[in-house]
Amino acid sequence: MSVRLLFATVALCLGVIATPAHAKRGIGIINTGDELFEVAPFPAEVIAAIPQVKDLKVGYKCSHFGIFWADVWTWDCELVGVENENTYTSLPDELRTKLSADPQYAYSHAKRGLWNHYGFWAVVGAVVVFLGIGALSGRKASTDSAAA
C-alpha cells in the first residue's frame, strides 16, 4: 500500500510542478501551446495567383494539451500556410474558405507522427499495466503473509 501511495504522490507532484513545453520544446511531463500539422501542397491555381505560397504547404495551427509530447486534446484549429514545424503564415479568409471546402485539405489528412497521434493511449495502457502489476503483487504479498 505504501509503494502505491508514494508513486501516486510523486506523480501528482510532478504533474503539478512540471513546466509546460510549448510547441514540442522544453522538458516536462505536460506540454501545451500551438502545434503545426502539414496537410498538402497548395493547389497550382493558388500558387499561380499568389507566388509567395510556392514554398509553403497547407496545414493546420492548433492549440493542444499533451502528456510526454503525445496529444491528449487538440482544439481551435485553423488553416494556415506552413513553412516548417515552427513557422506559419495566416491565410486570407476567402482562401481559407476555399481550401476548407476541398476534402483534400481536411484535418483528417494532417500529417501527425505515430507517437503524437496514438502516444496518449500508449501512456494510458502503460499506467493500467503498472497498476495491474502493483495490484497483483500486493495481493500476492497479502496472501503469502496470511498463509504464514
Rounded mean pLDDT of 50-58? 93
pLDDT band at 16 (very low <50, low <70, confident <90, very high): very low
CA distance 4 to 138: 10
User: What percentage of residues in the chain have a pLDDT greater than 90?
Assistant: 43
Question: Rounded to two decimals, what is the model's pTM?
Answer: 0.68
Mean per-residue pLDDT for 139-145?
A: 61
Tens of pLDDT, residue by residue over 103-124, are 999 999 999 888 888 888 888 8
CB 111 within 8 A of CB 85: no
Max mean pLDDT among 22-31, 90-99, 107-116, 122-131 falls in 90-99
Who contacts 5 (Cβ-Cβ below 8 Å, separation ≥6)? none
Q: Determine the pLDDT at residue 20.
A: 42
**Across-strand partners of 84?**
87
- Give ∠ CA 109-118-104 in degrees, rounded to 5: 5
